[in-house]
Amino acid sequence: NVELQSAASPGYRTDLISVLFKIDFDASAHFAEVLLENNSTIIVFDVATSFRVICVNRGPMSIIKLKTAVEDGKKVASQYKENNKGKTLQVLLDELSAPPKPPTPPKIEVRKEPNPVSNSQISEEELQAKAYLERGDIDRAIMAYRRIRPVTVRILKIIGQLSAEEKHDYDTAIECYELALKMQDETDDNLPDTLLRLGICYYRCGKFDLAINCHTRALSLYESARRRD
């Protein structure tokens, strides 16, 4: 049909993978054939129908074979009905069709300033950067921090923190934290903090695997340090 030919066409949404669902079902499954305006037909199953995945064949067009699980679907529907007593059909439909809520960001506490030092220990350039911060001029503060030489882990983490928390510029923050990581070794007491901050930025960018890796590594280092203490 038209839909299948379009999905299989090389020029159709090259960023997507074509998938064909093959469904085996018998007379116990409730379904209907619906004729669309373009004369194509779709199969609509009862809302309580559940499906089991039998196999998945990956290729230029992946094929997913399914089988109806009518009794399982009835149990799910019955439980859903029991849990939503008193709600009208329209309310239930609105809830089911509502877009999913974005995941809640993890509540992870990090120190306000990475490795804080007293004013007597910092350069004139950094004092100028801190003065910009006190006036709320984040852009100039970041520029001032970038001019500081030599570049240290602490300065990189401050730039990363300002970029992430004040500018929501997670790409720049990730760049700073990754560079800071390269300058730290496994014995650095501040390495877990860097990993934690980097993991949060990865999370904000939707790079969940990288975020998990950072947090897992940070947790391992924290636990190792606790055992040594």
What are the distances in angstroms from CA 65 to CA 20, 50, 57, 222?
8, 13, 8, 46
Residue 105 or residue 28, greater confidence: 28
Per residue in 63-74, pLDDT (tens digit) is 888 888 877 777
Give CATH 1.25.40.10 domain extents, the chain.
123-207
Per residue in 129-155, pLDDT (tens digit) is 999 999 999 999 999 999 998 899 999
The amino acid that residue 67 corresponds to is K
Which pLDDT does position 141 carry in this prediction?
Answer: 92
Per residue in 26-75, pLDDT (tens digit) is 877 788 888 877 777 888 887 778 888 888 887 767 788 888 887 777 78
Strand pairing class (18-24; 61-68): parallel
CATH superfamily assigned to domain 123-207: Tetratricopeptide repeat domain (1.25.40.10)
Which pLDDT does position 189 carry in this prediction?
Answer: 77
Residue 109 or residue 176, greater confidence: 176
Q: Are 222 and 204 in contact (CB under 8 A)?
A: no
> What whole-number distance in Å separates Cα of residue 79 and Cα of residue 92?
14
**R_g of the chain computed on alpha carbons:** 27
Q: Is the pTM of this model over 0.85?
A: no
Per residue in 192-225, pLDDT (tens digit) is 899 999 999 999 998 988 999 999 998 888 888 7
Burial of 132 (0-12, 13-18, 19+ CB in 10 A): middle
Written as six digits, the tokens of 44 are: 């609509």
